[in-house]
Structure 1
Amino acid sequence: MIDVLLGYLPADRRGRIREYLVLMRMDRPIGALLLLWPTWWALWFAANDFPPVGLLVIFTLGVFVMRAAGCVINDYADHDWLDAKVQRTRGRPMAAGRVSKQEALALFGGLLALAFVLVLFTNTLTILLSFVGAALAAIYPFTKRVTHLAQVVLGAAFGWSIPMAFAAVTGSLPPLCWLLFLANVLFSVIYDTEYAMVDREEDIRVGARSTAILFGDADLPILGVLMVTFVFAMLLAGTRAALPWPYFVGLAAAAGLFAWQQWIMRDRARAPCLAAFRNNNWVGFVLWAGLLLALAIR
């Protein structure tokens, strides 16, 4: 993706722009996809059909812009005290000193401004909600210094697109909206705990905090409880929306993927934990695909 984007730029500027694109994680779209699927769940649930094309474009673009902004402010918060001391992250642009604090803040501000321009094409309620989303995105990276529940804050930040989507489509925030928001908080805690398990020992040494550290040896049983609770919340969402059978087939597939994640993580090795984290992209996809088909045949 980065090489495609750089191909349109003058050769003498590609090196610098590459650092900014890597800082925004344009080379690793998995995080954007994990934000995209819940946003699409919300748009389809809110519309009770295929959502308006304009809103679909706005929210899809917004997902990639806000994920990029979140990555920039995350590296701004972590580059010296955490990323530079962890093997997997010490090569990131800020941790390695290739991008300055001033550049990162300017980039973060520019991305927030772009996201706000997109929101201006919606309605007043959505615009007001966007300020909460921006605050959550800015606060999350710093919570790792003070609480083991930073993953919950991440879930709220990633899930805030759900009330915004309902506000944009329906002009309201019904109970179904908050049920999906709660489900996404659970989903985010699941996959970000798996992600944090990869660096758990180094995080403990550095002094970072996470649910992976908080759960300790009980990590897999607690993740199992969270997975079951998430599936139940999405089951309630489907029954509340009176969806036909394809949705529940997708939900069963998601449960199967969770079971597979538990199996491969049984030894808590780093590579399987990272694979389990990435597998959640398919969890989000099968749920959206089931929802799409369910609404199509109703």
Structure 2
Amino acid sequence: MSLARPSGSAAPPVRAADSSWFDRALAARRPLVMGILNVTPDSFSDGGRFDAPDSAHTRARAIQAEGADILDIGAESTRPYGDATPVSAEAEWARLAPVLPAAVGLGIPVSVDTMKAEVAARALEAGAAMLNDVWGLQRDPDMASVAAEHGVPVVVMHNREAVDPDIDIVADIERFFDRSLEIAARAGIWRERIVLDPGIGFGKTPAQSLIAIARLAEFSVFGRPVLIGLSRKRFIDAVSPAAVERRLGGSLAANLAAVSAGARIVRVHDVFETVQALRVAAALEGVR
């Protein structure tokens, strides 16, 4: 399968997405929950569980019912420990295409987790409302222009080719964000459409991931909402050894700490439990 259009055929005109949902969501006085749906065979936490269309559709409906504000669908593993198998744009789209229309039809805003502009463009044409790029617009040179043309919100995540335990990770993240924001501005992406993600686990030691979470408030200098994606990640195991499927407690604790430090969006596998934890935390704040 090729993503290229037939020779001589014109691409349809790009219609800017209606991103008013994003403005309304951010206006809410509570953190937003992004539910993860991996339609991959090899994701670190749930690879192979939802890579068939029927199981993916069932999980998408469950994520919505459990209270997620955004559904984030990934069709290529971006395992944060550098051992994922890369796939072509054609293979990634072949996984995504059978799932996306039904997910969009649920009425929940759908984010697509991809680092390929080809896949991003197809997903947006199919109704996706947000892009989530684990290379922060710095890997595929066409990604920023695709996001700009469609006018959608885009998550720019910090990443590194290699772990360096000796660097100041917060300073490195800030430099990366500066570069991503520069790329976005040049492409014509409205700054109001940018979400920043410090990339917990990506190109970082467990200690550096903990530092990034603990110092999350420092990223407020950019004036953009921060998304945190720490669900079930290895830093939890470094603090309290546990298999991936037994890291819920650590995930909830770290997400609550991140929200207290200013995170506006939490990206999670365990939607119901996270929504419950956030509601209880908010209720406790309300009676103080």
Q: Bigger radius of gyration, 1 or 2?
A: 1
The two structures have a TM-score, normalised by structure 2, of 0.30
Name the structure with the higher strand share: 2
The two structures have a TM-score, normalised by structure 1, of 0.30
